[in-house]
Every structure is written in C-alpha cells, then in structure tokens.
Amino acid sequence: MERSVVSKCPICGSGMDIVRMHCRSCDTSLEGRFAPCKFCQLTTEQREFIEVFLASRGNIKEVERFFGISYPTVRSRLDQIIETLGYRVEYAESESQRKDILKALNEGEITAEEAIKLLKK
C-alpha cells in the first residue's frame, strides 16, 4: 500500500524530513536527511486541485465546472497553493475583484478568513 509523504509533524506541526529511502526493485536503502519536494508541502486537497488544473491545461472554466466552484474560489485556491510553494502572489487592486470576493463569500464559496486574506492583499 502506497502512502503519501507527510510533510508536517502530526504532534507539533513542524516540517518533517525524510531520513530513509528504499528501492523496491533492488532492495537498496539510503539513509540521511532528505528534504521533501515542494509539492509534498501541499495538502491532499491542494494536490488534487493542481492535478485537475493541469489536466485542464489551466482552463479555469473547466476547473470551475469540475469542482462546482466560482472563478474567485478557483483564484483563491490557486493563490494559496502558489504561496504554500513559497512564491509571492501579486494582487491587482480593482473594484471588480473586490466584488467577486464578496460575492463568493456571500454565496458560501469561500470562508470569511479567505475573504479577509484576499481583501487585505
């Protein structure tokens, strides 16, 4: 049974290191301190989102349809993933974007915390 890599400690929440790797084919093992890949830092939900995003070749409309969510929600999730991977997200200050965020909040598509974070940026 394959397990996905746990990137955060279930006890304290700190980052985890990989200390042993093993080849199923030739039975070779390596021990040391290996950093997990950037994508291992993503939650299962975020990895699923990225898979759908890539499979749809970045077509946000297709991502909206697949998950049944609005454009602002897709953007919000994508921005969160970008930040988790360690990149800075630049936000355009526009009234229409603010309205989209508030609409998504009103319709229950994003949480109040997500809306606050998006509005502050």
More confident residue, 120 or 67: 67
In the chain, where the domains are located: 1-37, 42-120
User: Could you tell me where the beta strands, DSSP code E, fall in the chain?
Assistant: 18-22, 29-34
Percent with pLDDT over 90 in the chain: 32
What pLDDT is recorded for position 27? Answer: 93
30-60 pLDDT, tens digit each: 999 887 788 888 888 999 999 999 999 999 8
Using the predicted structure, report yes or no on whether residue 92 has a pLDDT greater than 70: no
Phi, psi dihedrals of residue 10, rounded to the nearest 5°: -70, -15
The separation between CA 14 and the C-alpha centre of its own chain, rounded to angstroms, equals 18
What pLDDT is recorded for position 5? Answer: 66
Q: How confident is the model at residue 97 (pLDDT cuts 50, 70, 90)?
A: confident
> What pTM was computed for the model?
0.59
Average pLDDT over residues 71-92: 86
Q: Give CA torsion, residues 113, 116, 119, 120, to 10 deg.
A: -110
Gap between the Cα atoms of 67 and 104, Å rounded: 14
- Domain 42-120 CATH class label: mainly alpha
Measured CA angle at 10 (ends 5, 12), to 5 deg: 125
Hey, how many other C-beta atoms are within 10 angstroms of the C-beta on 111? 12
Beta bridge partners of 120: none
